[in-house]
């Protein structure tokens, strides 16, 4: 097929200018020692989820507003009003879980299969950076709906940053955009979630794939990772097909889940609520539970030192473990520490749920929170009411109110807009009292300047009494 296409005149023309066949060849004819396997689908699976996250994320941004005033309303609008909005938001949220799970499998597999060995130190480290970036995406994205659990989970999350020695308070204030959570926090998290972290992710995904291709596939666990000896098979078609099937199952599962069980939105964040019990997304539960054990002066150890040591060990792994042996049963230390960490995380996650369900007060509050979410989801969407500010603001003085009638009766509003807020035919009058005092105002209304007359402003021909009322109205426009 490719050769037939390759020989058409257009394709030759295109190839001479782009090198597209060479690129296609590089991408598809990658040799895989020992042949294609289902075990290798997770890396490309992550790419498909990333693609889905990008597309759904861009579409969510079409209706979303990152401000404490409007964020919750806009997410409610997406969830309750916009066609397929609930589906797309669910796909994005379930996608974030799928991303974390698939990433853990990919990382765990690389560790367990010893695929980081054999001149793959930079490849491994770029993967770890991607891991932390994805965790950062999950953390920053969680706040954006600005509902109760988003708000309080992020309050806890940023407090944890405050535990870092020396720079903790500064770091927390940097993340929050101040000492307290507020609209600046939301703006910052939004910028991190849609600009900073994704940009960095693109950079490192490119690096990661390039380095992977440079090092080549490590093959099965009994293969030599530097000079593979097993019979190779090209990436295309069999591995491509397996990757495609896996991606389709993944996306299909996410789609089905989003369709059958769309994610919910809780009531709008209420910072003065002292009862609310924040619970993070399930993949954060083990860490959430872990933090409970480290109180007071010990917190630094649990929150900073131990995670720091684990991270440093992970980074250092390919430098420390230089043997090319990859079979897990021949690497007891690596395999056991992997099993211990995995069991520990599962235990912590289970423990978190167990504690919540056995403490009656907590269980009761969590049930209440679930009910509040249900109630909110069942209420009809409430749009934000917008009026010209003066329709809502303090009532006018009696003179100004009469002046407003003069304003309307003389069609001033025709050009200067409702409540003097301006239209395309006339400038706004809000704040005009700062420009002219009473006498100047009378003068300019009786004899408009050339500029005003050029803009179709007629002299205002009304009684002195009406003029005074009109000016008191104009003075009220602030």
Partner 1 sequence: MQDNLKEMTEDVLPANPDRSATHTMNAPHGDVHPAHYVGPHSGRRKFLGWFLGAGTLSVAGVLSIPLIRYALDPLTRTTTQTDWTDLGPESDFTETSIPQKRTISITQMDGWRKVISEKPVYVVKKADGKLTVMTSVCPHLGCSVKWVDGDNHFKCPCHNGIFTPTGTLVSGPPPRNMDELESRIVDGHIQVRYQSFRQLVTAKEVLA
Residues 380-439 touching partner 1, rule: CB under 8 A, are: 381, 383-388, 391, 408-411, 413-415, 418-419, 425
The tokens describing 386, both together, are: 């917008």
Contacting residue, 43, 45, 57, 85, with partner 1 by CB under 8 A: 85
Q: Of the candidates 182, 214, 270, 393, which one interacts with partner 1 according to CB under 8 A?
A: 214
Residue from 107, 194, 251, 474 that binds partner 1 (CB under 8 A)? Answer: 251
What torsion do the CA atoms of 418, 424, 429, 434 make, to the nearest 10 degrees?
160
Q: Which of residues 49-78 bind partner 1 (CB under 8 A)?
A: 52, 55, 59, 62-63, 70, 73-74, 76-77
Q: Which is nearer to partner 1, 344 or 455 (CB)?
A: 455
Question: 388: which 2 tokens?
Answer: 């010209």
**24 vs 365, which CB is nearer to partner 1?**
24
Residue 3: count of CB within 10 angstroms of its CB: 7
Other CB atoms within 10 A of residue 55 CB = 14
107-141 b/e (C-beta count within 10 Å ≥ 16 → b) = beebbbbbbbbbebbebbbbbbbbbebbbbbbbbb
Residues 127-156 touching partner 1, rule: CB under 8 A, are none
Return the residue of 25, 37, 428, 438 that touches partner 1, per CB under 8 A.
Answer: 25
Distances (CA, A) of 356 to 265, 277, 290, 312, 359: 21, 10, 14, 32, 6
Shortest CB 444 distance to partner 1, Å: 16
User: Nearest distance from residue 180's CB to partner 1, in Å?
Assistant: 26
CB of 361 to partner 1, least distance (A): 37
Nearer to partner 1, 25 or 438 (CB): 25
Query: What is the three-state SS of 163-178?
Result: CCCCCHHHHHHHHHCC
**Which one of the spans 85-93, 170-178, 322-330, 363-371 is the region binding partner 1 (CB under 8 A)?**
85-93
Q: Which residue from 18, 261, 397, 456 is in contact with partner 1, where contact means CB under 8 A?
A: 456
CA–CA distance, 434 with 436 (Å, rounded to integer): 6
Which is nearer to partner 1, 232 or 302 (by Cβ)?
232
Nearer to partner 1 among residue 153 and residue 429 (C-beta): 429
Report the candidate in 109, 89, 88 with the shortest Cα–Cα distance to residue 46: 109
Nearer to partner 1, 81 or 270 (CB): 81
Instruction: Write down the least CB distance from residue 453 to partner 1, Å.
Output: 12
Contact criterion met (CB below 8 Å) for 321 and 334: yes
Q: Is 322 in the site for partner 1 (CB under 8 A)?
A: no
Phi first, then psi, for residue 31 (nearest 5°) are -80, 135
Binding piece for partner 1, criterion CB under 8 A, among 122-130, 179-187, 235-243, 279-287: 235-243
Cis peptide bond upstream of 237, omega within 30: yes
**Which of 357/411 has CB closer to partner 1?**
411
CB of 167 to partner 1, least distance (A): 39
Least Cβ distance, residue 25 to partner 1 (angstroms) = 5
Residue among 47, 87, 108, 164 that touches partner 1 (CB under 8 A): 87
Tokens standing for 28? 């598809």
Burial environment of residue 40 by CB neighbours within 10 A (0 to 12, 13 to 18, 19 or more): buried
Handedness of CA 274, 276, 280, 286 (dihedral sign): positive
Residue 240 or 366 with smaller CB distance to partner 1: 240
> What is the helix (H) or strand (E) element at residue 32, kind and residue range?
strand 31-33
# of chain residues touching partner 1 (CB under 8 A): 66
CA angle 339, 342, 344 (to 5 degrees): 105
The residue (of 222 and 456) whose beta carbon lies closer to partner 1 is 456
Q: Which is nearer to partner 1, 231 or 330 (CB)?
A: 231
- Give the count of alpha carbons within 13 A of 54, CB side only: 12
Q: Among residue numbers 264 through 303, which ones bind partner 1 (CB under 8 A)? A: none
Could you say whether residue 248 binds partner 1 (CB under 8 A)? yes
Query: Which span sits near partner 1 by CB under 8 A: 128-136, 228-236, 434-442, 469-477?
Result: 228-236
* Part of the chain binding partner 1 (CB under 8 A), chosen from 11-19, 148-156, 159-167, 182-190: 11-19
Q: How far is the CB of 13 from partner 1 (least distance, A)?
A: 6
CA distance 358 to 454: 77
* Strands in 165-253 per DSSP E: 232-234
**How many whole angstroms separate alpha carbon 300 and alpha carbon 165?**
7
Q: Are 328 and 342 in contact (CB under 8 A)?
A: no
Residues in the chain: 478
Identity of the residue, 148 or 258, whose beta carbon is nearer to partner 1 in the bound complex: 258
Q: Which residues contact partner 1 (rule: CB under 8 A)?
A: 1-3, 9, 12-13, 16, 21-22, 25-26, 29, 31, 33, 52, 55, 59, 62-63, 70, 73-74, 76-77, 81-85, 87-88, 214, 216, 227-228, 231-234, 237, 240-241, 244, 248, 251, 255, 381, 383-388, 391, 408-411, 413-415, 418-419, 425, 456, 458
């Amino acid at each position: 097929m490719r050769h037939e296409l390759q020989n058409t005149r257009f394709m030759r023309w295109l190839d001479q200018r782009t090198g597209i066949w060479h690129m296609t060849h590089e991408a598809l004819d990658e040799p895989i020692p020992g042949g294609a396997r289902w075990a290798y689908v997770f890396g490309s699976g992550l790419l498909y989820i990333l693609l889905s996250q990008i597309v759904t994320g861009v579409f969510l941004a079409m209706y979303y507003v990152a401000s404490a005033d409007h964020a919750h309303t806009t997410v409610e609008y997406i969830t309750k009003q916009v066609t397929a909005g609930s589906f797309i938001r669910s796909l994005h949220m379930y996608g974030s879980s799928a991303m974390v799970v698939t990433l853990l499998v990919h990382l765990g597999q690389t560790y367990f299969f010893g695929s980081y060995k054999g001149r793959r130190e930079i490849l491994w480290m770029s993967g770890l950076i991607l891991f932390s970036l994805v965790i950062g995406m999950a953390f920053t994205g969680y706040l954006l709906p600005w509902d109760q659990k988003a708000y309080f989970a992020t309050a806890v999350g940023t407090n944890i940053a405050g535990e870092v020695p020396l720079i903790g308070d500064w770091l927390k204030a940097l993340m929050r955009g101040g000492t307290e959570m507020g609209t600046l926090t939301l703006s910052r998290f939004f910028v991190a979630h849609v600009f900073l972290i994704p940009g960095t992710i693109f950079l490192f995904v490119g690096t990661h794939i390039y380095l992977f291709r440079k090092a080549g596939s490590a093959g099965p666990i009994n293969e030599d990772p530097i000079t593979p000896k097993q019979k190779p098979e090209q990436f295309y078609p069999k591995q491509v097909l397996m990757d495609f099937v896996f991606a389709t199952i993944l996306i299909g599962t996410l789609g089905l889940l989003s369709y059958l069980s769309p994610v919910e939105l809780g009531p709008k964040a209420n910072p003065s609520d002292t009862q609310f019990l924040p619970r993070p997304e399930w993949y954060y539960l083990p860490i959430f539970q872990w933090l409970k054990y480290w109180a007071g002066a010990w917190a630094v150890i649990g929150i900073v030192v131990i995670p720091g040591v684990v991270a440093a060990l992970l980074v250092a792994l390919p430098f420390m473990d230089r043997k090319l042996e990859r079979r897990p049963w021949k690497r007891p230390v690596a395999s056991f520490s992997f099993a211990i960490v995995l069991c520990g995380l599962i235990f912590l996650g289970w423990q978190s749920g167990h504690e919540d369900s056995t403490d009656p007060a907590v269980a009761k509050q969590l049930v209440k929170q679930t009910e509040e979410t249900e109630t909110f989801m069942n209420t009809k969407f409430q749009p934000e009411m917008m009026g010209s500010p003066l329709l809502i603001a303090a009532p006018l003085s009696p003179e100004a109110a009469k002046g407003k009638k003069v304003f309307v009766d003389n069609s001033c509003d025709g050009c200067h807009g409702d409540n003097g807020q301006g239209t395309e035919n006339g400038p706004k009058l809000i704040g005009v009292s700062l420009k002219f005092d009473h006498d100047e105002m009378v003068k300019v209304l009786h004899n408009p300047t050339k500029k005003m007359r050029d803009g179709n402003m007629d002299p205002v021909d009304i009684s002195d009494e009406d003029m005074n009322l009109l000016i008191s109205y104009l003075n009220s426009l602030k």
